[in-house]
Chain A
Amino acid sequence: MSPPVAPEIDDSRGAARFIPLFVGIVLVEILTIAALYWFGRYFGPA
């Protein structure tokens, strides 16, 4: 069995180019948590 042959891996710039996406993920999570907090407060006990 030959080792798995991967296509050419070009990762020279690493994950740095995904930093805007990371910021986006964190922002979406914060907004989601904020929305869930609002949801609980708005519909919850007065």
Chain B
Amino acid sequence: MSVIDWGIVAAYLVWVVWDGVRLSRNTKEVDGYLLAGRSLPWWAVGLSVMATQLSAITMTSTTGQGYADGMRFVQFYFGLPIAMIILSVTVVPFFYRAKVYTAYEYLERRFDVKTRTLTAVLFLISRGLSCSVIVAAPAVILSIVLGWNLTLTVLAIGVPTVIYTMVGGVQAVTWTDVKQMGIIVSGIVAAVVVLILGLPKEISLGTALHLAGAVGRTRALDFTFDIHQTYTFWSGLIGGLFLSLSYFGCDQSQVQRYLTAKSVDEGRQSLYMSAFVKIPLQALILLTGVLMFVYFLFRPAPLLFNDAPVARIQAAGLGEAYAALQGEYAIAYAHRRDAAEVLAAHDDAVTRDTFVTSEAGVQAVRGRAVDLVKQATGDASWTDVNYVFPTFVVRHMPVGLVGLIIAAIFAAAMSSIAAELNSLATATVIDIYKRFVAPNATDTQYLNVSKWATAGWGLFACVMAVFAARLGSLIEVVNRYGSYFYGSLLGVFILALGVRRANGHGAFVGLLAGMGAVAFVATTWSVAYLWLNVVGAVVVTVVGFSVSLFTSTVKTST
């Protein structure tokens, strides 16, 4: 990276801390610190909602998915707009009227303390671990691609985020999110422009998309109803609906965003922004990956985009096999480039078949190289797709834009981490400290504990990130177990808001049954994970309602 790019990244890190602290207002009371005194405009909250969801993993992994698999992943978001409509007429006004700090606080009023505590503790565990993953994932990628020290990269992401979140509370988080969203979108647009301008002169954008389409990269929709397939129209619409209802309606990291809005309507409008923009934005990010695929048809692409494990391949005595694969790859790559040029000049069945066959040849060699890495490292889930975008940025973007996009990856990571730290601190203080440790403490004490809780969770995330980064596939395990919780939590809120006869025992038993059912289904059937959200929500609702019928009397909701 050039000095200019280093300067841009360093300037971003300094600016984000300074700006976050500068824009904080009325953070001397807990209400201002955790809920911004419910004073924020809908557009700022809406951008914050989107920035929270758009992490660095999205920038690296989603573009990588576009490169390797095409546009199909966009179906994941088809349930989101419907979820936003449902939440805006149910959960948003409800939480406003309840005047709560956390979603779980409401569950004690509606049910009992054990249901509140269980959901809050599950949130703290799953979000605490996922926060460390959000720090670790970009840190690992940036440290490998840029040759940085891993621990220092973790600290470069974590420390500035903790500082402005700790000092400025939710207002610092929201206002920096707004600007970080601008940086992220600018970075993505810059990458798209460079990719288009970087195509050979004889390859227009339309021709490039035809090349990508010839090998299935432009196909976005799959109407097959198959619960084993991860991304189909139906899994996205139905499973994605349940996931979005749970994530945006029951997860404190999102609920806290719209609780800061000026009014119920502004809270609603903040969600409508995601409803309108999310699918096109994700399509743009995936399209970036598709364009990278075409770009690397004509520009040298490495056999593996993450060559860090090559040393381990050598150490495992597989060096010769890997060297042979590199030779095969050079031939297959040249063959595919030639086939692409022929297809671009003359599109017919024969040229298409030749190109499709040559692409299969390249992927076969790459697949064997990945198998070698798996054999050498013992990591059966190893993949290099998350490294495609950072590799393109560092090796192919012009000076200045490299710094902008690295800053955008930082911004994406920091905006998600800040929201998570803020919500973790809120749940810790409101649902644990205030409820069980110090119910009658002063406002100042709660404020101080909130700040230290933010720092504590930040420290936890950074330390866990360093460990998680070294443990590799553990990251995937953590994410997977986190997904067990989402649908079940939604079920509890369905019972709370929609089933009058539901009581605390029913909700508590239903939650445990739902999580058990999700774990059982996930480990015994090969069901795509989006459907697990449906399983969890349905089991909790049915079991919770049934148990409620056989236990205590109805408790009136607030």
Contacts and interface: CB of A to CB of B under 8 A. Distances in A.
B252 to A, nearest CB: 14
B93 interface: yes
Interface string A2-23: 1111110111001100100110
B219 A32 contact: no
Contact-size category for B: 35 or more
Contacts of A37: 220-221
Contacts of B279: 29, 32
B78 interface: yes
Contacts of B443: 1-2
Interface of B is mostly: helix
B71 A18 contact: no
Contacts of A40: 71, 213, 218-221
Contact of A43 (B99, B100, B210, B262): B210
B280 A32 contact: yes
B35 interface: yes
Contact of A7 (B206, B218, B263, B442): B263
Interface stretch (B1-9, B268-276, B494-502, B505-513): B268-276
A29 B31 CA distance: 37
B446 A1 contact: yes
B438 to A, nearest CB: 10
Contacts of A43: 206, 209-210, 212-213, 218
B283 A9 contact: no
B330 interface: no
B336 to A, nearest CB: 17
B401 interface: no
A15 B35 contact: no
Contact of A6 (B30, B71, B99, B219): B99
Nearest to B347: A46
Contact of B93 (A1, A2, A14, A32): A14
Contacts of A39: 71, 218, 220
A29 B214 CA distance: 26
A44 B434 contact: no
Interface in B204-242: 206, 209-210, 212-214, 216, 218-221
Contacts of B17: none
Interface stretch (B83-91, B368-376, B402-410, B461-469): B83-91
Interface in B244-294: 259, 262-265, 268, 272, 275-276, 279-280, 283
Contacts of A4: 31, 34-35, 38, 99-101, 259
B264 A9 contact: yes
A9 B92 CA distance: 12
Contact of B263 (A9, A15, A36): A9
B74 A36 contact: yes
B224 to A, nearest CB: 14
Given A6-B99, A25-B84, A40-B219, 6 more contacts: A2-B443, A11-B93, A15-B88, A29-B279, A43-B209, A45-B216
Interface of B: 30-31, 34-35, 37-38, 71, 74, 78, 81-82, 84-85, 88-89, 93, 96-97, 99-101, 206, 209-210, 212-214, 216, 218-221, 259, 262-265, 268, 272, 275-276, 279-280, 283, 347, 349, 352, 434, 441-443, 446
8 contacts: A1-B30, A4-B99, A9-B97, A18-B89, A25-B84, A33-B78, A44-B213, A45-B213
Nearest first, the 9 closest Cβ-Cβ pairs linking A and B are A43-B213, A15-B89, A36-B220, A40-B219, A43-B218, A44-B213, A43-B209, A25-B275, A29-B81
